[in-house]
Amino acid sequence: MTVKTTAHRLPGLQQPAEIVVDRWGIPHIRAASQHDVFFVQGFNIARDRLFQIDLWRKRGLGLMAADYGPGFVAQDRAARLFLYRGDMQAEWNAYGNPETQAICTAFADGINAYIALAQQDPALLPPEFYAMGVAPARWAPEDVLRVRTHALSRNVEQEAARAQVIARAGLDADRFRKSLEPAWQIRLPEGLDPSDIPAAVLDVYWLATVDPDISPERLTAPSAQAWSWTKVNDFDEVKQDASMQGSNNWVVSGSHTATGRPILASDPHREFRNPSVRYVVHLTAPGLDVIGATEPPTPGVFIGHNDRLAFGLTIFPMDQEDLYVYETHPTDPHQYRYGDGWERMTVLQETIPVHDGAPETVTLKFTRHGPVVHEDHAKHRAYAVRSVWSEAGTSAYMGRLAYMTAKSVAEHGEALRHWKAPTVNQICADVDGDIGWFASGLTPRRPNWDGLLPVPGDGRYEWDGFHPREDLPHVVNPARGFFATANEMNMPADYPYTERKIGFEWAERSRSTRIHRVLDGQPRHSVADAMALQCDVFSIPAQRILKLLAELREPAAALALLRGWDCHLHADSAAGALFEIWWGKHLKPAMLDQVTLDPVARPLMAPGDNEALLAALEAGGHDEMLTETLTAAYAACRTLLGDKPGHWQWGALHHGYFVHPLSRVADPALFRDVGPLPMGGSGSTPMNTTYRGTDFRLTVGASFRVVVDVGDWDNSRVINTPGQSGNPDSAHYDDMASLWAHGDYVPLVYSRAAVDAAAELRIELTPG
């Protein structure tokens, strides 16, 4: 293969460096110092994803309106409420790497170096900036860390929904919305009236945490409508998807693999985006040789491997948030009751610049617990969110800076003392054959409540510091020979959960059950087995429900289709299409209707807790409902897929589709969407393909997957859809989409020889 070569002189680079881009768009950065490797990482991410990271920064810092107009003022205000506002020196010191500030400075300088280069050579500027008439902003080192709202934190949205359901449908109803593990009896906190929690209490929170919706209506909103955009579009869907984000991972000891070496697999489940939320990069410098996934606007790698250790993660859903309810002073809403008296909120005035309009002055209010997200002046109530985000060291995934160079499972575990957000199952394996699992994250101690409902903010419910790492479970070299996680409740049987109360809200067990069954049944796990399991579409809910059909006689045609089915939700499966439409759009809604029809509580129940609903079905007495809903689902399939059931295919409905953020407001031929891509699976299969009910488009799942052959690093495999580049005119914009849809991977080459053999572009960089 002919290797194209380009060259740039960069002020700020200290010694010559190079970027070798392989045929799959993965950059391998080689530098003579750690300063330069992170500088070039910043330069390279700007080369491939400048528009994406520019949006990330402006959204996170509350600066969207300056470029995109009055329609973004409310979202800018919301974002500013959740910025880290603490001591920056404490922040720099919190990540377990004494070079954190230097790393972030080099990374930001590298981004700025590319921006400066693009200003000199307009051909280097992504076309999105020209289409929107905006310019990329320069970065400060602090920008890398101060934004918190892209992180996965929990459980304030569950608290609000639970309170509203309990107020209108009773305590028992809420288990069908979200079951609790281990078994736990909810108690109303003293002083809380759940009916005090309004439906709009978290609108500002959600507005702060979602991607900006760049729509024609929002871009053309006049200044008079600046405060019309205060809610998230598809609000219930956004909430649903956020609660479903998670991951799979497993690590298998060499004694249970085909090679005799450990195998590690990790596929994080996040919102499907274009460009992908992940970016694959290889960083090589003295003392550092690490490859894997990062989030584009941040330095380093947090899923992947170095020359001795592989590491991956999934969400371990510990509770990092609380919603506080305050009684406010009858004549001064800036005062709230605390203890025996009144305490004054901190009130800040900030100016939001607005494109083609006058700046907007906004008011930000904070209690001792956190930002005020809602006020009800008529009832003299205020509501604030307390989150670990206000603590130093909780920028998402940045704890990687402590473990990227760890050489063993033991070193990795020690480095995780500095991991704070999000809360995760960290798995790892080293070349000596050790494997390990560590639950990690900053989790508050709640001495007198369980964190499952909002609490009064009058001083009766205060965090008592945070759980030390020793309070969190871990295991090294498990007797089973592997450790696998899928966001399920996986605390050890003897864990003192009644004392520590770190969390009760976990993902359903379907993915975990299937993964454990497969691994238990494989005497010698291989890289190919790991890839197949990441793309496995066996449905545990289908298997459980099909066992209930033995006594049914109608509808005969639908039963005939289901009874011979192997419960795999393949894209070409007719039975899979029928089952998913039945389960998701008919059977579950019918069961939830029996729980409550309250107009406020019923929408909050969706999509329903699979574990609770399946258990209720298995308890019996639902044959009439099964028959009626299956009949309706069969008719719906005929409407959606035609009159010939033999031609039905799940993938004809269920599809991946990656929307470019500007495809609705600029030339769709240039800023093209990727898809549709017919897909199998569901949110309950190891290949998590959670979808929205309106049109079956995928919303959450694994856009990035990696399988690591520990020690034989070049035998590792990866996929990152739709592609590595965010530039629509790049060959790597969507070249992985079809591979991903078919369950295929590309090599994750690591050795210098393998990288050079796969090179298609070499970018030579010299100091300016």
The per-residue pLDDT for range 535-565, each reduced to its tens digit, is: 999 999 999 999 999 999 999 999 999 999 9
Tens-place pLDDT, residues 562-587: 999 999 999 999 999 999 999 999 99
pLDDT band per the 50, 70, 90 thresholds, residue 231: confident
Tens-place pLDDT, residues 665-709: 999 999 999 999 999 999 999 999 999 999 999 999 999 999 999
Under 8 Å between Cβ of 406 and 417: no
Question: What are the beta bridge partners of residue 290?
Answer: 283
Which among 696, 741, 549, 758 has a CA at the least distance from the CA of 237? Answer: 696
Fold of 537-653: 1.10.1400
Residue 300, pLDDT above cutoff 90: yes
Q: How confident is the model at residue 233, as a pLDDT?
A: 59
Q: Which tokens sit at 168? A: 């209108």
Q: What does the alpha-carbon distance between residue 471 and residue 656 come to, in Å, rounded to a whole number?
A: 40
Tens-place pLDDT, residues 409-418: 999 999 999 9
Helix-helix angle 527-534:510-520, to 10 degrees = 160
SS3 517: helix
Under 8 Å between Cβ of 525 and 257: yes
Q: Any alpha helices (H) in 62-169, and if so which ranges? A: 65-68, 73-81, 88-92, 100-120, 127-132, 143-146, 156-169
Tens-place pLDDT, residues 251-261: 999 999 999 99
Beta strands in 390-451 (DSSP E): 424-430, 435-440
Q: What angle do CA 737, 742, 747 make, to 5 degrees?
A: 70
Q: How confident is the model at residue 303, as a pLDDT?
A: 98
Which among 516, 646, 499, 644 has a CA at the least distance from the CA of 575? Answer: 646
Which among 197, 326, 186, 185 has a CA at the least distance from the CA of 600? Answer: 197
Under 8 Å between Cβ of 581 and 693: no
SS3 692: coil
Q: What does the alpha-carbon distance between residue 364 and residue 358 come to, in Å, rounded to a whole number?
A: 19
Tens-place pLDDT, residues 314-330: 999 999 999 999 999 99
Q: What does the alpha-carbon distance between residue 416 and residue 95 come to, in Å, rounded to a whole number?
A: 10
Tell which wins on pLDDT, 445 or 235. 445
Q: What does the alpha-carbon distance between residue 128 and residue 126 come to, in Å, rounded to a whole number?
A: 6
pLDDT band per the 50, 70, 90 thresholds, residue 151: confident
Start-to-end Cα distance in the chain:
30
pLDDT band per the 50, 70, 90 thresholds, residue 226: confident
pLDDT band per the 50, 70, 90 thresholds, residue 239: low
Q: What does the alpha-carbon distance between residue 307 and residue 751 come to, in Å, rounded to a whole number?
A: 10
Average the pLDDT over 601-622 and give the result: 96
Cα 168 vs. chain centroid, distance in angstroms? 31
- The CA distances from residue 39 to 35, 124, 266, in Å, are 6, 18, 27
Tens-place pLDDT, residues 474-488: 999 999 999 999 999
Q: What is the CA radius of gyration of the chain?
A: 26
Q: How confident is the model at residue 607, as a pLDDT?
A: 94
Which among 507, 405, 408, 671 has a CA at the least distance from the CA of 154? Answer: 507
Under 8 Å between Cβ of 19 and 40: yes
Q: How confident is the model at residue 89, as a pLDDT?
A: 98
332 burial type by CB count under 10 A (0-12 exposed, 13-18 middle, 19+ buried): exposed
Tens-place pLDDT, residues 85-142: 999 999 999 999 999 999 999 999 999 999 999 999 999 999 999 999 999 999 999 9
Under 8 Å between Cβ of 53 and 118: no
Q: What does the alpha-carbon distance between residue 94 and residue 588 come to, in Å, rounded to a whole number?
A: 45
Q: What does the alpha-carbon distance between residue 324 and residue 10 come to, in Å, rounded to a whole number?
A: 50
By DSSP bridging, strand 335-338 and strand 341-344 are antiparallel
Which among 754, 684, 389 has a CA at the least distance from the CA of 538? Answer: 684
In the numeric block, the tokens 């080192």 are attached to: 141
Q: How confident is the model at residue 312, as a pLDDT?
A: 98
Q: How confident is the model at residue 460, as a pLDDT?
A: 98
Q: What does the alpha-carbon distance between residue 232 and residue 241 come to, in Å, rounded to a whole number?
A: 13
Q: How confident is the model at residue 644, as a pLDDT?
A: 96
Under 8 Å between Cβ of 54 and 137: yes
Q: How confident is the model at residue 152, as a pLDDT?
A: 76
SS3 248: strand
Q: Which DSSP symbol is given to 444? A: B
Q: How confident is the model at residue 153, as a pLDDT?
A: 81
pLDDT band per the 50, 70, 90 thresholds, residue 228: confident
Poorest-pLDDT segment among 106-115, 147-156, 186-195: 147-156
pTM of the model: 0.97
Amino acid at 100: T
Cα 697 vs. chain centroid, distance in angstroms? 17
Which among 510, 476, 508 has a CA at the least distance from the CA of 489? Answer: 508
For the domain spanning 156-212+320-390, the CATH number is 2.30.120.10
- The CA distances from residue 322 to 144, 201, 276, 385, 446, in Å, are 25, 13, 30, 6, 10
Q: Which DSSP symbol is given to 579? A: H
Residue 235, pLDDT above cutoff 80: no
Question: What are the beta bridge partners of residue 344?
Answer: 335
The answer to whether the Cα torsion of 704, 693, 178, 459 is positive or negative is: positive
Q: What does the alpha-carbon distance between residue 625 and residue 602 come to, in Å, rounded to a whole number?
A: 19
Q: How confident is the model at residue 227, as a pLDDT?
A: 87
Instruction: Please report, for the chain, the start and end positions of each structural domain, with discontinuous segments joined by +.
Output: 156-212+320-390, 537-653
Query: Rounded to the nearest 5°, which phi and psi values hold at 165?
Result: -65, -45
Q: What does the alpha-carbon distance between residue 201 and residue 510 come to, in Å, rounded to a whole number?
A: 32
Under 8 Å between Cβ of 439 and 336: no
Same CATH topology for 156-212+320-390 and 537-653: the answer is no
Q: How confident is the model at residue 237, as a pLDDT?
A: 56
Residue 1, pLDDT above cutoff 80: no
pLDDT band per the 50, 70, 90 thresholds, residue 242: low
Q: Kindly report the average pLDDT of the chain as a whole number.
A: 96
In the numeric block, the tokens 């406010």 are attached to: 328
Overall size of the chain counted in residues: 768
- The CA distances from residue 717 to 257, 704, 708, in Å, are 16, 11, 7
Q: Which tokens sit at 341? A: 């008296």
Q: What does the alpha-carbon distance between residue 229 and residue 212 come to, in Å, rounded to a whole number?
A: 11
Which among 465, 421, 440, 392 has a CA at the least distance from the CA of 94? Answer: 392
Which among 734, 675, 739, 744 has a CA at the least distance from the CA of 707? Answer: 744
